[in-house]
Amino acid sequence: MKSFTYERAHSPAEAAAAAARTPGTRFIAGGTNLLDLMKLQIETPTHLIDVNRLALDKIEATADGGLRVGALVRNADLAADSRVRRDYGLLARALLAGASGQLRNKATTAGNLLQRTRCPYFYDTNLPCNKRQPGSGCSAIGGFTRQHAVIGASDACIATHPSDMAVALRALDAAVETVRPDSSVRTIPIAGFHRLPGSTPHVETALEPGELITAVTLPKPVGGTQIYRKVRDRASYAFALISVAAIVQRDGGGCVALGGVAHKPWRIEAAEAEMPNGAKAVTAQLLADAKPTPENAFKLPLVERTLAAVLAEARG
Ligand code: SF4
């Protein structure tokens, strides 16, 4: 691990300003992803700002009937919250499908959104990777691509986003609250928070340099039957080959977001008009522009079959 300097933040605005002042700064909270990447020298921050003591660890009701989840709420605590379990079951199930109990006790809401891809070539510092080293090339293209994206990829990167929580948040229309280095605050809809790779796959979110996530807000509950189904190579502690987050309403409508298929949680609202017509119709629209490789083409029928099972379960 390369040496770095360290400080504890005393307020969100102060942390953001300090991060903007010092190039090479990273915020650290749970550290469940960042510390691994630092040990491998994939991330080499010169300065760490520890945000763990900021008062961002509460889950509070909002005036419009939703919930405001502090950036430092641990994944285990969010999944166990009675309001989340009752009104946002999709989110609780997605959280419990991720990582392990020990990791969920440390990992935070903001950190979960910001975790890096699990593309194996990203982790091999002997090989080119545009996400790790911009302009160096992409070793996955032409390589082993079973886990990689089938839609929304580019000639520069075909990685997927690993978060389960983010897929549920996309289906729930959550928003991300932040503070910028000039102390201004803003709200970023989750739909626009994660980016597709384009020619700059190392830029993964809409965050500006120094900008700090302070909370995630959930709109008022929409009801329905909420199911998160994750398909993976082993029963636990594995990332999704694909996942389906669905909210199914009594009239047959609802919404669907997918994980494991793209560089960001994948949702196309226009496809949801097809929900009463079944999984095949929805999948045809969701993945209309898919460009799978021979190794990951199985993901397309897997999405359709998984969504069919989810819809059947939701409709009893
Ligand atoms: Fe790197 Fe993305 Fe290519 Fe993986 S797919 S090697 S993360 S550029």
Q: How far is CA 112 from CA 5, 106, 160, 239, 268, in A?
A: 24, 10, 14, 13, 22
Is 138's C-beta closer than 6 angstroms to any atom of ligand 1?
Answer: yes
Instruction: Find out whether 157 and 306 touch, Cβ atoms under 8 Å.
Output: no
| Ligand 1 binding pocket includes 119 (Cβ within 6 Å) | yes
Q: 22, exposed or middle or buried, with CB in 10 Å at 0-12, 13-18, 19+?
A: middle
- Residue whose Cα lies nearest atom 3 of ligand 1: it is 138
pLDDT score at 117:
97
Task: Provide the token pair at 97.
Answer: 């499908």
Structure tokens at 6: 């360290």
243 lines ligand 1 (CB under 6 A): no
Strands 242-248 and 254-259: antiparallel
pLDDT tens across 162-187, in order?
999 999 999 999 999 999 999 999 99
Of 170, 194, 81, residue with least CA distance to 70: 81
Give the per-residue pLDDT at 1. 77
Residue 172 pLDDT: 98
CA 32 → CA 74, 107, 113, 228, 284, distances in Å?
Answer: 11, 6, 12, 23, 36
Task: Tell me the mean pLDDT in the region 291-313.
Answer: 98
pLDDT, average across residues 228-240? 94
Question: What pLDDT does 121 receive?
Answer: 98
**Ligand 1 atom at shortest distance from the alpha carbon of 119:** 4
| Residue nearest atom 1 of ligand 1, based on CA coordinates | 129
The rounded Å distance from CA 222 to ligand 1 centre is: 37
Residue 82 in this model has a pLDDT that exceeds 90: yes
**Three-class DSSP category at 229:** strand
Quick one: average pLDDT of 125-143? 98
Atom of ligand 1 nearest to the CA of 120: 4
Q: Which atom of ligand 1 is nearest to the CA of 158?
A: 5
Residues 135 and 132: their CA atoms lie apart, in Å, by 9
Residue 105: CB atoms within 10 A of its CB come to: 14
Does the Cβ of 117 fall within 6 Å of ligand 1?
yes
Calculate what percentage of the chain has a pLDDT beyond 90.
Answer: 97
Residue 139 Cβ < 6 Å to ligand 1? yes
Q: Residue 103 has what pLDDT?
A: 97
Averaged confidence pLDDT in the chain: 97
Mean local confidence (pLDDT), 82-89: 98
Using a 6 Å cutoff on CB, does residue 149 contact ligand 1?
Answer: no
Nearest residue (CA) to ligand 1, atom 7? 122
Give the pLDDT confidence of 9-39 residue by residue, as tens digits. 999 999 999 999 999 999 999 999 999 999 9
Global pTM value: 0.98
Give residue 236's pLDDT. 87
Q: Is 157 a pocket residue for ligand 1 (Cβ < 6 Å)?
A: yes
Could you tell me if 34 and 19 are in contact, meaning their C-beta atoms sit under 8 angstroms apart? no
Closest ligand 1 atom to Cα of 139: 6
In order of 32, 226, 257, 296, 307, the CA distances from 223 in angstroms are 32, 8, 16, 34, 19
Burial of 16 (0-12, 13-18, 19+ CB in 10 A): buried
28 CB-side CA count, 13 A? 23
Query: Residue 158: CB within 6 Å of ligand 1?
Result: yes
Which candidate, 45, 48, 50, 71, places its Cα nearest to that of 8? 50
Q: Ligand 1 mean position to 194 CA, how many Å?
A: 16
Q: Is the CB of 109 under 6 A from ligand 1?
A: no
H or E stretch covering 115: none
Backbone angles phi, psi at 223, to 5 degrees: 70, -150
129 close to ligand 1 (CB < 6 Angstrom): yes
Q: What is the pLDDT of residues 239-289, one digit of tens each?
A: 999 999 999 999 999 999 999 999 999 999 999 999 999 999 999 999 999
- Give the model's pLDDT for residue 123: 97
Task: Render pLDDT for 52-71 as a digit per residue (tens, 0 to 9).
Answer: 999 999 999 999 999 999 99
Mutate to test the pocket of ligand 1, among 42, 139, 196 (most ligand atoms within 8 A of CB): 139
Residue 316, pLDDT above cutoff 90? no
